[in-house]
A = this chain, B = another copy of it.
Amino acid sequence: MLPDKRYFDSFFKSAFTVDNVIFGFDEGKLKILLIRRNEEPYADYWALPGYFVQQYEDLDAAAERVLREMTGMENVYLEQLHTFGTPYRHAFGRVITVAYYSLVKIADFRPRAAGVAQDITWHLIDELGVLAFDHLEIVQVALEHLKKSIRTRPIGFELLPPAFTLTELQHLYESVWGTELEKRNFRKKILSMDLLRDVGKVQKGVAHRPAKLYRFDEQRYRELEKEGFNFEVRDGGKK
Give A contacts to B, CB under 8 Å.
1-3, 5, 8, 10-16, 38-41, 43, 52-59, 80, 82-83, 85-88, 92-94, 96, 98
Instruction: Pick the residue among B39, B83, B87 that contacts A83 (CB under 8 A).
Output: B83
Contacting residues, chain B, for A14 (C-beta < 8 A): 12, 14-16, 55
Contacts of A92 in B (CB 8 A): 3, 5, 8, 12
Of the residues B2, B58, B80, contact of A87 by C-beta under 8 Å: B58
Query: Are the C-beta atoms of A12 and B11 separated by less than 8 Å?
Result: no
- Distance between A96 CB and nearest chain B CB, rounded to angstroms: 6
C-alpha spacing A80/B82, complex, angstroms: 8
Please name all residues of chain B whose beta carbon is closer than 8 Å to the beta carbon of A2 when the two chains form the complex. 40
Q: Which residue of B lies closest to A57 (CB)?
A: B87
How far is it, in angstroms, between the C-alpha of A93 and the C-alpha of B3 when the chains are bound? 14
Note all chain B residues with C-beta closer than 8 A to A10: 55
Q: Once the chains bind, are A98 and B80 in contact (CB under 8 Å)?
A: no
How distant is the Cα of A55 from the Cα of B85 in the complex, in angstroms? 11
CB contacts (< 8 Å) of A85 on chain B: these are 16, 53, 58-59, 98
Residues of B within 8 A of A96 (CB): 16, 59, 98
Which of chain B's residues have a CB closer than 8 A to the CB of A41?
3
- Do residues A55 and B15 form an inter-chain contact, with CB atoms below 8 A? no
25 A/B residue pairs, CB under 8 Å, sorted by A: A1-B38, A1-B39, A2-B40, A3-B39, A3-B41, A8-B15, A8-B52, A8-B93, A10-B55, A11-B15, A11-B54, A12-B14, A12-B15, A12-B92, A12-B93, A13-B55, A14-B16, A16-B16, A16-B85, A53-B85, A57-B87, A58-B86, A59-B85, A80-B83, A83-B83
New contact pairs (12) apart from A10-B55, A14-B15, CB-CB < 8 Å: A1-B43, A3-B40, A3-B92, A8-B52, A8-B93, A13-B55, A56-B94, A57-B87, A58-B87, A59-B83, A80-B82, A96-B98
